[in-house]
Amino acid sequence: MLISLLILLFFSIILEGTITALPLVLICLICMTIVLRDSFIFLLAFFAGILLDAFALRTLGGTSIFLLVIVFLILLYQRKYEIITYPFVLISSFVGALLYLIIFGYSGALILALVSTAIAVLLFMIYRLKVKDEASREKLRYS
Amino acid sequence: MKSIKAVFPIFVLFLLISLLIFFFSQNPLTGGLQFITLPIQRFMFIASSPSTSTTSVQQLQEENSQLRQQLAQIQEIKSDDAALHDQFQTTTPAPQKLLPVDVVGLQQNSLILGKGQDDNVKVGDVVVFKNNLIGTVGRTTPRLSLVVLLSDQSTSFTADTTKTAAEGIVKSENGGIVTLDNVILSDKLEKNDIVVTKGDQNVQGQGYPPQLVVGKIVSVDKQASSLFQSAKIQSLVNISDLRMVFVITQ
């Protein structure tokens, strides 16, 4: 799971840095934070942000700060509420993507945020299916 | 999951490092990172271009693939050569002021060029292709520069039409539509008329030179009740097809 998410993050950095305006890295990090809930995601957010700034010729560190704050807010929220749910993925990815697109000056932010939300929900759906599949296999093994 | 006491110091540590980078160490880090990002950007830009895509059947044939690679290299050299030849035959802007630069990336309302401060590219330099205006350099790093295209909302300069000599201000609306605005009602705007820069250079040579083509008029919006009329402009150049552009250096 971790390796596949890391590979996904790597390709998201390359794609967002070169050919697409969609905030794929943010979406990927939000999904990783929801699924893994581990503090090492701060490290990923930091390096992903620096690389994205280098690709987009932005001031280095700006994207890192944004990504770190988003990851921290999700980790804070999960202490009080259940976050592995579709509504949380939907709202967090939409609000996160919209803020990101507005702060970094992208035009058509609303449409891009909606597409990003759809991608986030799709990623989460794949994760849920995979977890379900693994659970049923475990059940079969012990029965 | 670790407690908030364990997570908070890690968050603060990375936030502090990010803030330090953000405020203090821009140039050395940017230069170093662009050693990694520049080849990736160049590769992805060429790979994502429709003109270089091949069919899956052809990709399976090893020998053909090698020959195609050689052909692509020759064609690239030929197109670069043709672009240089065309550009230097164009009288406006003067050829001696032009710096040929490869396009390495395309982003929303901006292009990324493969030359920067090390090659004397400065913020505010005008970027052209033949005699078509592409945009201005908005940001530079030692090895790369970012071109703000005409579709960016910050665009604003004076221009006139070639046929009817109507004068106005070129602006960009939200959504990347370029318009010739603030044209007085007594001036005549015609569909397919070419819009060119009026020229607003300062003593240092910064600003738009005159007679650069902005685009052609595709529609006119004239209402008797309004103070001004406007027209939508379409560029004569397809930005995503550009491989090489020219920076007018001062």
B40-60 residue pLDDT tens? 877 877 777 665 455 566 566
pLDDT in tens, B88-146: 666 566 655 788 898 888 887 888 898 888 888 988 899 998 888 999 999 888 888 99
Interface predicted TM-score of the whole assembly (ipTM), two decimals: 0.86
In 3D, which of B234, B109, B154 has the Cα closest to residue A108? B109
Q: What proportion of chain B, given as a percentage, has pLDDT over 90? A: 18
CB < 8 Å to A106, chain B: 108
Q: What proportion of chain B, given as a percentage, has pLDDT over 70? A: 83
Task: Give me the domains of chain B, ranges plus CATH numbers.
Answer: 59-150+240-248 (2.40.10.340), 156-234 (2.40.10.350)
How sure is the predictor about B78, in pLDDT bands with cuts at 50, 70 and 90? confident
- Whether the per-residue pLDDT at B186 is higher than 70: the answer is yes
- Check CB contact under 8 Å for A107 and B106: no
The answer to whether residues B105 and B76 touch, using CB atoms and an 8 Å cutoff, is no
- Whether the per-residue pLDDT at A79 is higher than 70: the answer is yes
Whether A104 and chain B come into contact, CB under 8 Å, resolves to no
The answer to whether residues A48 and A67 touch, using CB atoms and an 8 Å cutoff, is yes
CB < 8 Å to B109, chain A: 107
Cα(B154)–Cα(B113) distance, rounded to whole angstroms? 19
* Distance of residue A97 Cα from the nearest chain B Cα, in angstroms: 16
Whether A115 and chain B come into contact, CB under 8 Å, resolves to no
Sequence-separated (6 or more) residues with CB below 8 Å from residue B105: A18, A55, B41, B44, B45, B111, B112
How sure is the predictor about B179, in pLDDT bands with cuts at 50, 70 and 90? very high
Whether A20 and chain B come into contact, CB under 8 Å, resolves to no
Helix (H, G, I), strand (E, B) or coil at B230: strand
Cα(A34)–Cα(A44) distance, rounded to whole angstroms? 14
A72-88: average pLDDT? 85
Sequence-separated (6 or more) residues with CB below 8 Å from residue B224: B185
What is the torsion angle, in degrees rounded to the nearest 10, for the CA atoms of residue B156, residue A22, residue B132 and residue B143? 100
Whether A14 and chain B come into contact, CB under 8 Å, resolves to yes
pLDDT of residue B26: 64
List C-alpha distances in Å: B110 to A2, A42, B78, B127. Answer: 35, 30, 26, 12
Report the residue of chain A nearest B37, measured CA to CA: A55
Residue in B7, B18, B110 to test binding to A, most A beta-carbons within 10 Å: B18
Whether A76 and chain B come into contact, CB under 8 Å, resolves to yes
Q: Which helix (H) or strand (E) holds A76?
A: helix A62-77
Q: What is the DSSP string of B48-113?
A: H-GGG---HHHHH-HHHHHHHHHHHHHHHHHHHHHHHHHHHH--SS-GGGEEEEEEEEEETTEEEE
- Check CB contact under 8 Å for A75 and B7: yes
Burial of B179 (0-12, 13-18, 19+ CB in 10 A): buried
- Whether the per-residue pLDDT at A55 is higher than 90: the answer is no
Measured over the CA atoms of residue A24, residue B114, residue B146 and residue B158, the dihedral's sign is negative
- Whether the per-residue pLDDT at B181 is higher than 70: the answer is yes
pLDDT of residue A2: 78
Give the number of beta-carbon pairs within 8 Å between A and B.
Answer: 104
pLDDT of residue B95: 56
Residue from the list A56, A61, A75 with its beta carbon closest to the beta carbon of B21: A61
- Check CB contact under 8 Å for A50 and B37: no
The answer to whether residues B189 and B231 touch, using CB atoms and an 8 Å cutoff, is yes
Whether A84 and chain B come into contact, CB under 8 Å, resolves to no
- Whether the per-residue pLDDT at B19 is higher than 70: the answer is yes
pLDDT of residue A38: 85
What's the mean pLDDT when you consider all of chain B? 81
* Distance of residue B143 Cα from the nearest chain A Cα, in angstroms: 11
pLDDT of residue A93: 94
Sequence-separated (6 or more) residues with CB below 8 Å from residue A48: A9, A12, A13, A25, A29, A63, A64, A67
- Whether the per-residue pLDDT at A68 is higher than 80: the answer is yes
B207-221: average pLDDT? 89
A97-105: average pLDDT? 92
How sure is the predictor about B74, in pLDDT bands with cuts at 50, 70 and 90? confident
pLDDT of residue B217: 92
